[in-house]
Amino acid sequence: MGFLTRLCLVFACCICCYKAMPTNPSQEAVNDRPVIGVLTQLVSDDVMKPFGRTFIPDSYVNYIESGGSRVMPIRLTFSTAEYENIFKKINGLFFIGGAADLETSDYARVAKIFYRLALEANDAGDFFPIWGTCMGMQLLTVLVAGENLLTDTPAENVALPLNLTAEAVSSRMFQDFPKELLKALTEEPLTGNFHNYGITVQTFQESEKLSGFFSLLSTNVAGNGARFVSTLEGKRYPFYGVQWHPEVNGFQWDARLNLPHSAHAVQLSSLLAQFFVNQGRRSLHKFDTPEEESSSLIYVYKPVYTANFTSYEQAYFF
């Protein structure tokens, strides 16, 4: 057989093999320029009211950015149609801590709109994650249960280890954690708590809506002896909640507060930020133009130095 003939046969074989190679249609697309929307929180402290009606502490912005995302602040004054349009642009939603009525406030009203949109999107195969921290997690339980089930669970200005449940190790949130960090999480005070209310474990277990929707990943004991839910993860939906504050570990430094700053505490904060942003990478929502995207980001606002009258170093006001 001549050289050219052999070459043709090899080439033809390669073509056939190439055509016969299976593709991987289930491979997920990845968005490496995610934008996480952060619902602005109502200003409740009198000393902050001169600066704006709503705000976002800079620590949350830094925390989300440390995971590899940009931040879009979401005001509480828009129409439902405007929020529906914003939803199509962002790749995840973050409910921060603070103080607001979880059923009647504008904060609750807007959160309910986005919660509905996220449920509908995920049901349709349009992946969209939500995270709630402290009051943000409490808000998620109100949205899921359809009622406010919070009770007194005081854990104000205290750092605690987590009592992990059997579901935690296999959870999406913790499954990729190094074993050393998981062990430290149960033994060292790595989680900063600043709350007076929460969901008790008994209430969670007795609520079919909550226990059917969420997996309970960790618990803690409050100052009054109540055992409360401290970490939640949606069973079907990519919704996550922590009663504690992972953002303070690396981005708040008020010496009056029990803020965990150990190597393990910072590692915990970093991994959780990366985890949620990676969830956001699975969302393919995007802005219509680069100009629209740029004008919507937190960078167009200037943070205000607030350390002289609040526990935050800086905050954005709206």
For 16-62, what is each residue's pLDDT tens digit? 443 333 334 345 779 999 999 999 999 999 999 999 999 999 999 99
Cα–Cα distance, 218 to 163 (Å, whole number): 5
* For the chain, domain boundaries: 35-317
Fold of 35-317: Rossmann fold (3.40.50)
Q: What is the mean pLDDT of the chain?
A: 93
When pLDDT is averaged across residues 182-199 and rounded to a whole number, the result is 98
Query: What predicted TM-score, i.e. pTM, was given to this entire model?
Result: 0.91
Cite the active site residues.
Answer: 134, 245
Residue 2 banded pLDDT, cuts 50, 70, 90 = low
Q: Which helix (H) or strand (E) holds 242?
A: strand 239-242
Token pair of 53, please?
Answer: 């009606």
Q: State how far the Cα of 263 lies from the Cα of 250, in Å rounded to an integer.
A: 10
Cβ partners under 8 Å of residue 253, min gap 6: 259, 261, 313
Residue 225: both structure tokens together:
């002896």
Which pLDDT does position 29 carry in this prediction?
A: 76
pLDDT tens digits, residue range 252-301?
A: 999 999 999 999 999 999 999 999 999 999 999 999 999 999 999 999 99
pLDDT score of 19 = 38
* Cα torsion 44, 36, 104, 198: sign: negative
Tokens 């130095």 belong to: 305
For residue 138, pLDDT over 70 is answered with: yes
Answer with the residue of higher pLDDT: 1 or 76.
76
d(CA 280, CA 91) in angstroms, rounded, equals 5
In tens, the pLDDT along 230-265 reads 999 999 999 999 999 999 999 999 999 999 999 999
Q: For residue 5, what are its two tokens?
A: 């003939």
Instruction: Give the contacts of 152 (CB within 8 A, at least 6 positions apart).
Output: 196, 197, 222, 224, 226
